[in-house]
Amino acid sequence: MKKFICGILAGILICGILVGCAGTTPPADKKICFIDNPNLPLYSTKDEIIREQGLELYEEDSEMYVPKDGNFSKFLDLDWSASYFFNEDNFLRDVSYSLISGDANTDYFKDVRSHLESLYGPGEEYEEPIMGYPGFSWNISDDKGHSYQIRAYYKDIAEHQYTTIEIVATEADNSDSEKEPDSYSSSAENTWEKVGEAANEFQQGIKDSSGVTFHSIKPRNGIISQEQFDLLQKGMSYSEVMDILDSPEDADIPSDDEYFSCLWETDTSFVMLSFDKEGLLTYNSYGLE
């Protein structure tokens, strides 16, 4: 009887060990995980990412997913807007994190770069292809064939900092893309060209920030073209810029104002300008034809 009981206990112990081993998943390499969720691998399925990150479709006919209920992604003690795209095989194609800061006295990008270098090592210099924003990139992979490129870039505009981090599945993981890893990312392509979410978010973030007043740009034919915008140059006077944009000058701008900003916008495009005492300081646009 004693031998029988010992045999049962031994069997239970062995089964428990086997079940325990079978139910233990080796932890994922942290560098192949989401920045805001170091326990969620980038190569997780679409359903897993949507569930773990709490995502929903941005719009019913959109391909972009965002955090539910206007929530933010949090890391580095900052709130980041995030957008996710998936490929036809239901794996991550790219994710983009955007931060707009109204604190001109804090170098957020320095902290971002340090954080990314702590994860991925030294980065290579990178220039965002549409606006020419400076930044850094990292190529990462694991022994399972998963590979990604991380791109971080920034721009100081109108005393605000605009910072973006993109994580893009490279060809080994991205069946939708035929682009080289260092080409223009599908995240930026969808965000700026197709959806325009980051551009509009950036615009709205600056508009909503305290201390920034926008004066109107009112082109006489109602439209500003890309051709007109391309004629603008840093240092141009306000009058010269309004002549190029075929817009009357805003009489509400004080003649002794050393710094002011101007905005023209439609549902699908905008032009944002800032001037100082030397003339045109910054000029940005989205969606012009």
pLDDT, one tens digit per residue, over 197-226 is: 545 555 555 555 445 578 889 999 999 998
Q: In terms of Cα–Cα distance, which of 254, 255, 241, 252 is closest to 285?
A: 241
Measured distance between the N- and C-terminal CA atoms of the chain, rounded to whole angstroms? 88
Compute CA 60 distance to the chain's CA centroid, rounded to the nearest angstrom: 21
Give 16-70 pLDDT, tens digit per residue.
434 344 443 445 567 899 999 999 999 999 999 999 999 999 888 788 899 998 8
pLDDT value for 157 = 61
Whose CA is closest to 59, among 173, 185, 190, 164?
A: 190
Q: What one-character-per-residue DSSP string does 160-222 give?
A: EEEEEEEEEE-TTT-TT--S-TTS--HHHIIIIIII-HHHHHHHHHHHHSTT--EEE---TTS
pTM of the predicted protein model: 0.58
Backbone angles phi, psi at 179, to 5 degrees: -80, 150
Nearest C-alpha neighbor of 285 from the set 230, 234, 239, 216 = 230
Q: pLDDT value at position 207?
A: 54
Residue 66 DSSP SS3: strand
Q: Quick one: pLDDT at residue 178?
A: 40
Vertex 147 angle, CA 142 and 150, to 5°:
115
Q: What domains are defined for the chain?
A: 30-194 (no CATH), 213-286 (3.30.1450.10)
In angstroms, rounded to a whole number, what is the distance separating the alpha carbons of residues 43 and 168? 11
Instruction: Say what the pLDDT of residue 99 is.
Output: 84
Neighbouring C-beta atoms of residue 236, cutoff 10 Å: 19
| pLDDT at residue 23 in the model | 40
3-state secondary structure of 247: coil
Output the CA torsion sign for 219, 223, 228, 234: positive
Low-confidence ranges of the chain (pLDDT < 50): 1-26, 172-173, 175-196, 198, 209-210
